[in-house]
Structure 1
């Protein structure tokens, strides 16, 4: 039995439901039916309601997973990349590729209001903010990020949504647009040093 008291199968069902909610909230909004979430997760509606008694509980769980994913993404980038600019580029490419902006648009202002009243959400959000602020500070010190760009600007870039045509390969198109945007906030000398887009998509 897991540390949270759930059996392995119950934990697996819960994780599948949350993962499906993240996808469907991103693609269709938070008004998607609970049955559709259950079907997507390949569990029964009864199983869904045993884990999440109402839509509010599911939104809270999905929001926590969303913020936790951001925290893991930015801290991993900071740990694995050789400098702050490379970490920022990697993290922002990942945000665009995984549709962070679409999810944020679907859950706001619900998520913002929940963060205020949920200590768990507040804690993980503060982890994200602190990690981004640290990267921005380090990139300024390196001279690779424009001095007028702050953590708030980076947060807005995290939620950029990029339309791709049906006839183009979306991963490459999104990477191309993000490279253009990032060239706008980086110091000119850093553009030549930055890694190719295909290393972060």
Structure 2
């Protein structure tokens, strides 16, 4: 039996496909209904039976952890590609920010947080993957600041919290229009970070450690 925290590379093709469908369905369902959404609903969206879901993910925590790991894996890969393909570190970082909005992190993080605290405390691989992604993004931000591309009083914690707040859906808005609006607002937000220089009231940059402390992670 393989749970959500293990490498799925050893699974049969059909098992890998089922696992992928469950993770994708869980991401959408959690984004819409929260991390306590019925597992039966996730299985239905994935087009599998509830027994198949439990075979891959024996409990809710393992499924939430798998969604978080998958997000971090994708972000890590996107950050690596962006860093390799974009000579401008700020363009590379903003590309990753838009990928975060595309994957609905702003909707997922608040609803997953209670479960994610437990997952991070109990699962070393998840914490390691998170640290790798954070380290890469902090490096891009620091390089952009050294090159004078973004104001110096911004920390990665400021940037990521902004994404979470900007990406929350507007009730009653069509999903496609909401997605377009989220990317537009993110672009305006990021342009503002570039354009302004810190004045007399500039704040201390918020780090990821600050965010973790504030959220109780």
TM-score (norm 2): 0.78
1:40-64: CA deviations, max 9, x gaps? Answer: 1101111111111122221221221
- How many pairs align? 188
* Residue in structure 2 matched with residue 63 of structure 1 by the alignment: 68
Asked if the contact 1:26/1:103 (under 8 Å) is kept, the reply is yes
User: Is residue 139 of structure 1 aligned with residue 144 of structure 2?
Assistant: yes
Gaps of 5+ in 1: 190-201
State how 1:1-201 maps to structure 2 within 5 Å: 4-160=9-165, 161-164=167-170, 166=173, 169-187=177-195
Shift of 1:117: 2.0
Asked if the contact 1:22/1:66 (under 8 Å) is kept, the reply is no
Which whole-Å CA distance do the structure 1 matches of 2:55 and 2:117 have between them?
26
Gaps of 5+ in 2: 1-6, 198-217
1:142-193: CA deviations, max 9, x gaps? Answer: 110101111221221332324456378334322221122112211469xxxx
Asked if the contact 1:92/1:158 (under 8 Å) is kept, the reply is yes
TM-score (norm 1): 0.84
Which whole-Å CA distance do the structure 2 matches of 1:17 and 1:141 have between them?
42
Which whole-Å CA distance do the structure 2 matches of 1:176 and 1:112 have between them?
31
Asked if the contact 2:107/2:168 (under 8 Å) is kept, the reply is no
| Change in 2 beyond 3 A, CA 1:5/1:163 | closer
| Change in 2 beyond 3 A, CA 1:11/1:172 | closer
